[in-house]
Amino acid sequence: MTPKTVSAIALSLIPIVKPGDRLVEMILESVNETGIDLTNGDVIVIASKIVSKTEDRLVKASDVKVSKRATVIAEKNGFDPIHVELALRECVEVIRSDGVLITANQSGSVCNFSGVDKSNAPNAEYVLLPKDPDQSAKGILEELVRETGQKLAVVISDTQGRPWRKGSINVAIGCAGINAFKHNKGKSDLHGRTLKRSSICQIDELAALAEPLMGQAGERIPVVIIRGYEYEEGNETGVNIIRPRDEDMFR
């Protein structure tokens, strides 16, 4: 019997991106230079930061006027006031600001500083998350499919902390061509019992699979191809992962 395998392929030849760069063109050039081909069923996991940069989601520190509210939060916690100000601009709700700054951003994600980051950003600049990660993924996928003729999927990932476990992990914030979840309801377990509920967030799992290759420092691997994974298709996207407030046990 042939064993099941899933592989992760790093694209390490993508140059540092800047606003206006054609991301799909850069990905395909890296694919060619790496000596591989995109094939049917491949899932392309893309770090949110390079998507943000090509979409010009960069803010210069010199352009930011810090509000009184941001100043109060920053001084109370020893935070960078510009970082706080940008987090407040990007959020719809501040959930906690005592020792941390946890917010719900405009796409609904609950995360640290609204996902605003300074790591791997140009000097004196901050990177905001893509405004609509699902729409970004859709646009990238459409261009990839048009250029390759292959049946592909795209997942946009970001690194986030977890409230009940230490350490950050790569999670999905947007997707296209793949359902956010894999639903096992109606399938049988090892003993023949029918599963009444079992939904796996498959795009989070794929984002986490890509993380050991992507890294968090200077690895310069913003794109990873996942090959061999049999994913479920559907219309649920990154926005559907977020629990509605009435189902959120932490708010």
pLDDT at 197 over 90: no
What average pLDDT does range 213-221 have in this prediction?
78
Q: Residue 117 — φ and ψ, nearest 5°?
A: -140, 155
- The half-sphere exposure of 156 on its side-chain side, counting CA atoms within 13 A, is 26
pLDDT of residue 162: 83
| The pair of three-digit structure tokens given for residue 244, joined into one six-digit string | 């509605």
Looking at residue 60, its pLDDT comes to: 95
Indicate the pLDDT class of residue 194, thresholds 50, 70 and 90.
low
- 54-63, 79-88, 188-197, 230-239: range with lowest mean pLDDT: 188-197
In the chain, the domains with their CATH numbers are 7-57+130-247 (3.30.1330.100), 59-125 (3.90.1660.10)
pLDDT digits (tens, 9 = 90+) for 84-128: 999 999 999 999 999 999 999 988 889 999 999 988 777 889 999
Q: Check whether 153 has a pLDDT greater than 90.
A: yes
- Rounded to whole angstroms, the Cα distance separating 228 from 232 reads 13
Give the pLDDT confidence score for residue 191 in this predicted structure: 67
Mean pLDDT of the chain: 91
pLDDT at 214 exceeding the cut of 70:
yes
pLDDT at 217 over 70: no
Q: At which residue do the structure tokens 């599963």 appear?
A: 195
State if pTM tops 0.85.
yes
Percent of the chain with pLDDT over 90: 73
pLDDT of residue 119: 81
pLDDT of residue 189: 66
Q: What is the DSSP string of 200-223?
A: E-HHHHHHHHHHHHH-SSS----E
Beta strands in the chain (DSSP E): 7-11, 43-47, 58-60, 91-96, 102-105, 110-112, 125-127, 153-162, 165-176, 182-183, 199-200, 223-227
Could you tell me the pLDDT band of residue 198, with boundaries at 50, 70 and 90?
confident
Higher pLDDT, 120 or 143: 143
Q: What average pLDDT does range 68-73 have in this prediction? A: 97
Please report where in the chains the tokens 């999927």 appear, as a residue. 153
